[in-house]
Structure formats: C-alpha cells, structure tokens
Structure 1
Amino acid sequence: MWQHDGNMSRTDRLLRLMQGLRSLEPPVTAARLAGELGVTERTIYRDIATLRGLGAVIDGAAGFGYTVIEDASLPPLAFTDEELEALVLGLREVEAVADPHLGAAATAALAKLRARLPDRQAHRLKHAVLSAHRYFPPPSATVDLRVLRKAAWDEMEIRISYRDKHGQPSDRQVRPLQIVFFQDSHCLLAWCCLRRDFRAFRLDRIATLDVTGPSFRPHRTSLLRQHLERLRGQTDGFGETSREQI
C-alpha cells in the first residue's frame, strides 16, 4: 500500500499507521501493519500505544488485530449526497489515470473521507453509484511526476530531454505551468525558453527531467492564464496548432 523508506520520520510513520488502520479491512494485525510500513511488529505495538496516548480510539490487542474508532469529538464532514458522488467519481478517475503516487494519494483520500463521514454517508461512499474505469489508460510517464509537480509548485525551471511525435529528440529548458489529463495522453503545459513561446509536451515523451532553476516566481499564474486563454481561442480548446507541438 505504501512505498516506505528507511528515513521515514516517526511522525510520518504514525500518520501512515493511522491511515492503514483506517483503510485496511479490520481487524488489522500487527504483522500486516509491520509489512506495510516496513518496520517490526514491536515497533507497531509501541506506535499503537503512542497513538492511544495521543487520544486515538483504537480497539483490539496483540494477536487479535486492531480497529480504529473515530474520535466522536471530531465534527463529521458535511456533504450533500451528490457532492459525495462527485468526490468519489473524481478520486476514482485519479486512481484510474494518474501516476502510481497520485493514484495512491486518491485512494488514501477516499479512506480518510470514509473515516470522517457519518455512518450513512460512509456507507454511500463505499458503495457509490458512480465510479471511473479506463480499459485503455493513457501511456505512462517515464519520469518521476512528483518531481515535476513540485517544480511547478515551486516555480522552478526544468530541463527535459524530449522526442516529438516524429521521434526527433531535443533538449528544452522550460517553465512548468500545469499538467493536463487528456483522454489519450497527459501533457505538460509550459513556457519553452528555447522557442520563447507556450508549448505542450506529452509526459510519455519526456525521457529525462532535471530541476535546474532559476526560479520564475511569481509568474506561473499569469503565464498559465495566458496559455489557457490562447487554447480557449482555438477551435476545439486544444487546437491543431497546439497538437502539432506535441
């Protein structure tokens, strides 16, 4: 369920443990939790005790498994039934089309929602009428999209090795603005420092990615607005001129 590393902080481990107690089928054994987090069962026992000391209501014991009971003092989230269906549909779509890290984040978000909702709506979320599936998902990116998303948020220029639709390679210094999920591909909307113009790059055609700087803060929002306005002015919202760029 998680990709763990040896440098995980204790705080992060406790948060992930709580998330596991919420999302895995209860009662969850210490052995299962230890395997998910990459730690020993003894560590799980200590962390369960710590969570209880912090106020978490966790039923169960060693050898039987654990079940988390939400703190009744926390106010339930308030959604209409249609809002809830919309949230489920959106998060299921992310699970279906996003990279593994973002897909796992969508799964975790659904588990957190279910844990905080009133019983009736938690049941509705678990058995939602709406869902999303892709029999032919878009091609997977070959670079770490967490790095790309962070560079866009931090407004840092990146250098990419790219090949166009004809297979021609090029190196580009770009300002990443937004990742767009299209039906048949995912694209990076960016300002290309080489062409001195807006461009769209298919993620599955980016061979390498390096965050090089410099920072282009605080221009991301204004550049993105200009890029989207240009796209809206084309015939289909993402016209042939832009398609030729990718």
Structure 2
Amino acid sequence: MRRADRLFSIVQLIRGRRLSTAAWLAERLEVSPRTVYRDVADLQHQGVPIEGEAGVGYRLGRGFDLPPLMFTLDEARALAMATQMASQWLDPALALAASDAMSRVMSVLPASMRAEIEHMPIVAPGSGLEPAVARQLQTLREATQKREVLQIDYEDLRNQHTTRAVWPLGCFYWGTVWTLAAWCENRSDFRSFRVDRIRSIAPADRRFGARAGRTLADMLRQVSAREGGKRHTKAEPPIS
C-alpha cells in the first residue's frame, strides 16, 4: 500500500470508530504500531484534527469531513450482496432504507463498476420473512427504540396462548428466526418471544425507563451466567 493510501485509510478507520488504538490500526493496515504513530503524527502536523495519543487511542475531532468516499469493487459487491440479503429479513421500513442507501452508493460508482454490481452472479431469492411477521418486527423495533410497553398475545411452542405486558429490550436475528428480548411484567423476569408466534401487539400507552436489573445488558449478563460463559458452536434462540 502506498503511504498516501495508508494515510487516507488511517483517517477513514479513525473516523468510523469512537476510539482506535494504534495496535488495532496496525493490524488492519498490516504495518507496525511505530509506523502508525509516525503516520498519525504527520497527519496531525498537516492539520487533521486527530485527538488522543500513543498508548491510549485516537479519535477524529468534530467538524472534520472528507469528500464522499469511493468504494473498491469488492467493497461495493459486499454492500450490494448484504443489502440484498438483509432486505429479505428486515422489517419494511429498514428494508426500504437499506435499498435507498444502496441506491445512493450505486449513484456515485463509475459506470463500469455499476455494471459489475448489477450483473453479480450471486442472488438472494425472496424467501425471507412473511409480510405479517415483517410488520410485527417493525412494530417491535420501533417500540424498543421508544421504550414503549406493549401488550402481546403469544402462542408458545406448546401452542399455549398467553397475554403478556412486556418491556421490549431488543430484537435478535438467529438466521431464519427473529426473537424479541423483553422484561415480562407477568413473570417479573426476562423472556424471549419468537416474533412469528406473536399473534397480536397493542400499545399499553405507557413507557419504561432504564431500571437497574431490567435492562438488555442485565439480560445478557444473566444468559451468560446461566450458560457458564461458554460459547456454543451453534447459537439457538432462547424461547419463552
């Protein structure tokens, strides 16, 4: 990699993270940390507002911007493929946003690269979420972001129906299944619900706060403790 390209890459890597250590940058760029220290010092000397220091990490100061990025062919291919796959498994609003974002990427690509992307021999067939499930997922995601308590009618794996008041904490994708991680007021405990088994959703017209012991971080710590901190070779969704 030419030094000019490496300097540009350093700025791009730093701007994409809250804090980047020299060791991490060196690994990504396949150079020594000493080279990173020298390059960062040169960038700072040239007026690039990189904050931080060796041994701590770097971040880009506010107000600094660069012209629109250009992508390599493989980067554009990866984005196009990821967008195509994700659109099958996202809720309608995010699927549309992903499509719009990819359209913007395509609009700045050279004609030759655009043609390559449009004729990729890799296709993700439209066999993702059922429309009704996708709409449920959007409702759950938006409630999670707004911290809205929901009333759900749920059919579990034994076909038993229950009505729950839940605090939606996060939506998890398991390859072919989405689950809702939540604090269940009825059980006074964390529960996970398969989105495709939620029969109806209604707002409870109230919100919840970040109460200690009932956050997503608390739930993940509980799961980690229950599993003994071990990583499984095949992740399985924890189902209520």
- TM beyond 0.5: yes
Distance in 2, Cα, partners of 1:224 & 1:118 = 43
What is residue 97 of structure 1 aligned with on the other side?
A: 89
Aligned match for 1:86, one of 65, 71, 78:
78
DSSP-derived class of the 2:175 partner: coil
Instruction: Give, in angstroms, the shift of residue 186 of structure 1.
Output: 1.4
**Residue 83 of structure 2 contacts residue 99 of structure 2 at CA under 8 Å; is this kept in 1?**
yes
DSSP-derived class of the 2:204 partner: strand
DSSP-derived class of the 2:69 partner: coil
- The answer as to 2:186 corresponding to 1:194 is yes
**Residue 85 of structure 1 contacts residue 129 of structure 1 at CA under 8 Å; is this kept in 2?**
no
Distance in 2, Cα, partners of 1:217 & 1:79 = 41
1:90-141 per-residue CA deviation (whole Å, 9 max, x = no partner) reads 2111122234443333222221221133444434433346553465x35551
1:63-109 per-residue CA deviation (whole Å, 9 max, x = no partner) reads xxxxxxxxxxx944333444333322221111222344433332222
DSSP-derived class of the 1:178 partner: strand
**1:60-71 equivalence runs, <5 A:** none
Aligned match for 2:98, one of 73, 93, 106:
106
- After superposition, the Cα gap between the structure-2 partners of 1:99 and 1:91, relative to the gap in structure 1 and judged at 3 Å, is same
Distance in 1, Cα, partners of 2:224 & 2:148 = 26
**Residue 156 of structure 1 contacts residue 217 of structure 1 at CA under 8 Å; is this kept in 2?**
no
**Residue 88 of structure 1 contacts residue 130 of structure 1 at CA under 8 Å; is this kept in 2?**
no
What is residue 146 of structure 2 aligned with on the other side?
A: 154
What is residue 228 of structure 1 aligned with on the other side?
A: 220
Counterpart amino acid of residue 166 in structure 2? V
1:148-170 per-residue CA deviation (whole Å, 9 max, x = no partner) reads 22211111111111111111111
Counterpart amino acid of residue 191 in structure 2? R
**Residue 94 of structure 1 contacts residue 102 of structure 1 at CA under 8 Å; is this kept in 2?**
no
How many pairs are equivalent? Answer: 168
- After superposition, the Cα gap between the structure-2 partners of 1:75 and 1:129, relative to the gap in structure 1 and judged at 3 Å, is farther
User: What is the TM-score of this pair, normalised by structure 1?
Assistant: 0.56
Aligned match for 1:215, one of 204, 207, 216:
207
- After superposition, the Cα gap between the structure-2 partners of 1:226 and 1:86, relative to the gap in structure 1 and judged at 3 Å, is farther
**1:102-141 equivalence runs, <5 A:** 102-128=94-120, 131-133=123-125, 135=127, 137-138=128-129, 140-141=132-133
- After superposition, the Cα gap between the structure-2 partners of 1:143 and 1:125, relative to the gap in structure 1 and judged at 3 Å, is closer
Counterpart amino acid of residue 141 in structure 2? R
Instruction: Give, in angstroms, the shift of residue 192 of structure 1.
Output: 1.1
Distance in 1, Cα, partners of 2:87 & 2:167 = 27
- The answer as to 2:158 corresponding to 1:166 is yes
Output the aligned Cα RMSD: 3.1
Counterpart amino acid of residue 174 in structure 1? V
Distance in 2, Cα, partners of 1:176 & 1:162 = 14
Distance in 1, Cα, partners of 2:194 & 2:176 = 10
Where structure 1 has 5 or more consecutive residues not aligned to the other structure, the ranges are 1-73
Counterpart amino acid of residue 117 in structure 1? L
